[in-house]
Amino acid sequence: MWYDMPRGSRVSQQNWSDNVRAFAEIDTVESFWSAVNNIVEPSRLPMSSNMHMFKHGIRPEWEDAMNEAGGKWVLTLGKRDLHRVDEFWLHSLIGIVAEHFEPKASDDICGIVVSVRKEKTRLALWTKSALREDLRRAIGKRWREVLCDGGLPAHLELEYMVHKDAMAKDRSYLSKALDRM
């Protein structure tokens, strides 16, 4: 697991890389629950901070070889749904670790990020292959189901964004969505 809290409004990629820190390694069920039970819940994280859980050997950055050709499914929570961020985060973590996704989908998932901002909080499920539509859509569909019991409410939309587009703009969430569901 990783954590970062950028300083200033425009952080360069180099400054961001210097700022992100690993704080827990999860390799057993016990270490997973130890980390989950001892971290600050997303709803209590400081503004502008990010918490990441990525598979072993994958850094939470676009340039990592496992992320370069990928993208992310993004769930944006505004004030109306912000109270559910902890639930969605926990369900996502459990879904990834307990492999609640089909094997091919599970292999394609790199990790998950929660990003706390002033007006909204985002959850982003990172994948290796942005252009494999069948796999991308299967992951998005299943994540909607994993996020909460009974499935994600219809008014909440997932958007898929490609990392290469974000890298070109040097901004994580300004690229145009490749897919929606």
Looking at the 3D structure of the chain, how many domains does it have? 1
Max distance between CA atoms of the chain, in angstroms, equals 41
Give pLDDT, residue 23.
87
Average pLDDT over residues 123-146: 96
> Which CATH number does the domain housing residue 11 bear?
3.30.760.10
Quote the distance between the C-alpha of residue 57 and its chain's center. 16
pLDDT tens digit sequence for 86-101 = 999 999 999 999 989 9
Provide the domain limits for residue 30: 2-180
pTM, to two decimals? 0.89
Structure tokens at 70: 């990928």
